[in-house]
Structure 1
Amino acid sequence: MAPPTHPATPLDRKALSGPALRTFCRIAALWRLSEDEQRTLLGLTSRSTLREWKRNPDMVLPKDTLERISCILGVYKALQPLLPDEKAADAWVRRPNSAALFAGHSALDKMLSGKIADLFIVRQYLGTHHGGWV
């Protein structure tokens, strides 16, 4: 009997990369992210890398990029039940926030630190306000 496979094994990165990047691009459009903001959220320094990924449907994203996209998707999904008006949910990421975590800045400002930990923290923050992990 073969051992069970985990859906995030390195062998699955190719299968996950295209759908993950397409989902990220849809969220980026809804959140009106600039190309620089997109690169920062994905942990990229090169403009050409992001452009090449978008042109090449057969690319394989690095594991950390998939983790970043997972956090961003988690933020997006958590906002939907918290703010059922889609436009309000999408605008929330740019609005100043008085919660201690954000100190008057927006969630996007926090996520644009470039650290994957800050993406996770925003996702976790929204998960606790949704009544559990998202």
Structure 2
Amino acid sequence: MLQIDVPMPTMPNRQDFSAESDRVRLSKVALKAYKRLVKEWGLKGEQAAALLDVSTSTWERMKQEGKDKALSQDQLTRISALVGIYKGLHLLFADGMADHWPGLHNKAPLFAGMSPIDSMLKGGIPQMLEVRRYVDAVRGGL
């Protein structure tokens, strides 16, 4: 029987934040980016904490001290999605509108009349990823 070896396509290395070494390496810059996003979007402390899935007191400590240990895989995924939304909005709109949009009530079915922020607070990571896909689609990235 003739056997032909067909090379399997390789999947690109996708960042999954599972390795602690990656989380340690990325945590400081991710937290710095998230703090900037919180400021630019005008989020309240409770909102910033909830989007990151930490208590308000933990968020306040993280803001003041930074974070010496690695963020969790979940937290890095959240920050990655939110930074992707931030970047997509800045490609789509002028800076003022890009930073204002997440707080505006939205009639698109994805948001059910809520603001994107409120929808992400309610829907967690799955909604954050959907909002990111939505922004990318609107700007023609999909």
Please name the residue that 1:105 is paired with: 114
1:52 aligns with 2:61: yes
Cα distance between partner residues in 2 of 1:27 and 1:47:
17
Contact 1:31 1:91 in 2 (8 A): yes
After TM superposition, the runs of 4+ consecutive aligned structure 1 residues lying more than 4 A away are: none
1:19 aligns with 2:29: yes
Please name the residue that 1:119 is paired with: 128
Please name the residue that 2:50 is paired with: 40
Letter paired with 1:52: R
1:81 aligns with 2:91: yes
Structure label with greater radius of gyration: 2
Contact 2:85 2:135 in 1 (8 A): yes
Cα distance between partner residues in 2 of 1:129 and 1:32:
23
Contact 1:43 1:114 in 2 (8 A): no
Letter paired with 2:129: F
Cα distance between partner residues in 2 of 1:69 and 1:125:
17
5+ residue gaps, structure 1, are none
Letter paired with 2:102: V
Contact 1:40 1:114 in 2 (8 A): no
Q: CA RMSD in A?
A: 1.9
SS of 1:58 mapped into structure 2: coil
Number of residue pairs matched by the alignment: 128
SS of 2:103 mapped into structure 1: coil
State the identity %. Answer: 37
Letter paired with 1:63: Q
SS of 1:102 mapped into structure 2: coil
Cα distance between partner residues in 2 of 1:48 and 1:114:
22
1:114 and 1:98, CA in 2 relative to 1: closer, same or farther beyond 3 A?
A: closer
Cα distance between partner residues in 1 of 2:66 and 2:124:
26
TM-score for the superposition, normalised by structure 2: 0.82
Deviations along 1:63-104, one digit per CA (max 9) or x if unpaired, are 100000000001101101211x10111000111111111122
Once the two structures are TM-superposed, the CA of residue 125 in structure 1 deviates from its matched residue by 0.7
